[in-house]
Amino acid sequence: MSKADLIVGLQWGDEGKGKIVDHMAQTHDYVCRFAGGHNAGHTIVINGKKYALHLIPSGVLNAKAKNIVGNGVVLSPKDFIIEMEQFDDLKGRLFLSDKAHVLLPYHALIDQAKERMKGDKAIGTTGKGIGPAYGDKIARVGHRLGELLNPEKLTAKILAYFEQNKAIFAAMEVETPKEADLLAELEGYKAVLGAHIVDTTQLMWKIMDEDKKILLEGAQGTMLDIDHGTYPYVTSSTTVASGACAGLGINPKDIGKVTGIAKAYCTRVGNGPFPSEDFGDEGDRLRKAGHEFGTTTGRPRRCGWFDAVAMRHAVRVNGVDQVSLMKLDVLDGFKEVKVCVAYEVDGKEIDYVPYELEDATPIYKSFPGWDKTEGVQDFDKLPDTAKSYIKALEEMIGTKMGIISTSPERADTIIR
């Protein structure tokens, strides 16, 4: 029986998970998403051509790999269908869990209305409806993908839901859909998605029993996890390794090698604490060199330095076996590269993530920079100062950096 390899984000998302999932998909039979929704944006570049994936697993660009979207996901049929249109060969290689929750347009409207009402306390969500869809799931009033197979019954259920929540919908200025329109919409979804909806838990067990090579694709990052991130400035799902079990119906013993994805610096999109954020020229330079603008919303990402304290937290929470260090090339040409090695809270130095990360001031250590790592495919060919930076990070976080990425291209990946 095979164990599943796991890819998980270790920072605030956008670490470069898509690139590594795509790279590893070449040697895996199945790629499976276990959490999040189309708030995610995973970019893959192959021979100069760029693909942006949101919910379809990043194995899809590999003709051989089959793709599973697990029960832990919230799926917007409308957006998923648009995403599917990029590919014409999905029959028999895309499986959607009948237990995944359906995200409908009103979830997005509620998300946006709630953000507006929060004013300067807004989370800075992607506005895609993720929080309201997971909220419905946990409140046990959500709709599962399996229900799409019976559009009449689901229409009645959704209309009853609108009736029960009419005060809330009115406050949010969300109109009740007309029955005929809703039915037609759901029938349209069924026509495209129906053939892909299966019991993916049984499928997971079957392919493990058949000894298939399985890769689990995380979305978002550890610091956006609903429990282990910077609450309430987080997303609404379990983004960490343990989410893969609940989100696919597998058990902890089914998990094999855990690869954590981390940038050689740090970014965050949306609001919330980010101790090593650089508000000056260096932050700007990172944003420009790293093209740090969101794949999903196009928002500029906040940029700063590698945070070794938050990284140790992430390594432990996820049980990381190796780190894949991304975007080393973005630091090319910096005279000095900084790393946050500890925090100061109330005049005391600490080496862990405190209850309120907002209260933490970073303590930095500087490392000498280097000229160029871009496109390097061999560890020995990296400049000595870049190698020393990587080794220092490894020591600080107690984990090997087994993969190093030096450009968006699939091929520019060092495996050690």
**Residues found near ligand IMO in the complex (CB under 6 A):** 9, 13-14, 39-42, 123-126, 128, 130-131, 219-221, 224, 235-236, 269-270
Q: How many CB atoms lie within 10 A of CB 114?
A: 17
Shortest reach from residue 234's CB to ligand IMO, in Å: 6
Supply the residues annotated as catalytic: 14, 42
Number of residues that bind Mg ion (CB under 5 A): 3
Least Cβ distance, residue 234 to Mg ion (angstroms): 15
Residue that is written with structure tokens 């400035």 in the block: 233
217 touching Mg ion, by CB under 5 A: no
Tell me how crowded residue 210 is: count the other CB atoms within 10 A of its CB. Answer: 10
Of residues 14 and 147, the one with the C-beta less far from ligand IMO: 14
At its nearest, how many Å lie between ligand IMO and the CB of residue 147? 23
Closest CA to 67 of 84, 82, 79, 52: 84
Q: Among 8, 9, 11, 14, which residue interacts with Mg ion (rule: CB under 5 A)?
A: 14
Instruction: Give the Å distances, CA to CA, from 399 to 83, 264, 305.
Output: 36, 14, 19
314 binds, among Mg ion, ligand GDP, ligand IMO, none (CB under 5 to 8 A by kind): none
Contact (CB, 8 A) for 11 and 223: yes
Q: Which two tokens stand for residue 382?
A: 């990296």
| Residue among 315 and 382 whose Cβ is closer to ligand IMO | 315
* Residue among 394, 416, 414, 395 at smallest CA distance from 406: 414
Q: Is 132 in the site for Mg ion (CB under 5 A)?
A: no
The answer to whether the peptide bond before residue 232 is cis (omega within 30 degrees of 0) is yes
Q: Which is nearer to ligand GDP, 298 or 347 (CB)?
A: 298
Nearer to ligand GDP, 13 or 70 (CB): 13
Question: Which of ligand GDP, ligand IMO, Mg ion, none is residue 124 near (CB under 5 to 8 Å by kind)?
Answer: ligand IMO
Dihedral sign for Cα 337, 342, 348, 354, please.
positive
- Cα separation, 101 vs 131, whole angstroms: 12
Contact 220, 267 (CB under 8 A): no
151 makes contact, choosing from ligand IMO, Mg ion, ligand GDP, none, with CB < 5 to 8 Å by partner type, with none
41 scored as a contact of Mg ion (CB under 5 A): yes
**Least distance CB 308 / ligand GDP (angstroms):** 19
Between 57 and 151, CB nearer to ligand IMO: 57
CB atoms within 10 A of CB 187: 15
39 binds, among Mg ion, ligand GDP, ligand IMO, none (CB under 5 to 8 A by kind): ligand IMO
77 or 151: CB nearest ligand IMO: 77
Structure tokens at 364: 């930095």
Residue 269 binds which of ligand GDP, ligand IMO, Mg ion, none (CB < 5-8 A, kind-dependent): ligand IMO
Q: How far is the CB of 1 from ligand IMO (least distance, A)?
A: 29
Report the alpha-carbon distance of residue 7 to residue 257 in Å, rounded: 9
The minimum distance between CB 175 and ligand GDP, in angstroms, equals: 33
CB 151, min distance to ligand GDP, A:
33
* Contact between 247 and Mg ion per CB under 5 A: no
Is 15 a residue that touches Mg ion (CB under 5 A)? no
Contact 221, 37 (CB under 8 A): no
Q: Which is nearer to ligand IMO, 147 or 292 (CB)?
A: 292
How far, in Å, are 106, 158, 308 from residue 219 at the CA level? Answer: 23, 28, 21
Comparing CB distances to ligand GDP, the nearer of 337 and 360 is 337
Q: Minimum distance from CB of 286 to ligand IMO (Å)?
A: 16
Which residues contact ligand GDP by CB under 6 A? 9, 13-19, 41-43, 45, 295, 326-327, 329-330, 405-408
Of Mg ion, ligand GDP, ligand IMO, none, which one sits near residue 194, judging by CB under 5 to 8 A according to partner kind?
none
Q: Which residues bind Mg ion (CB under 5 A)?
A: 14, 41, 295
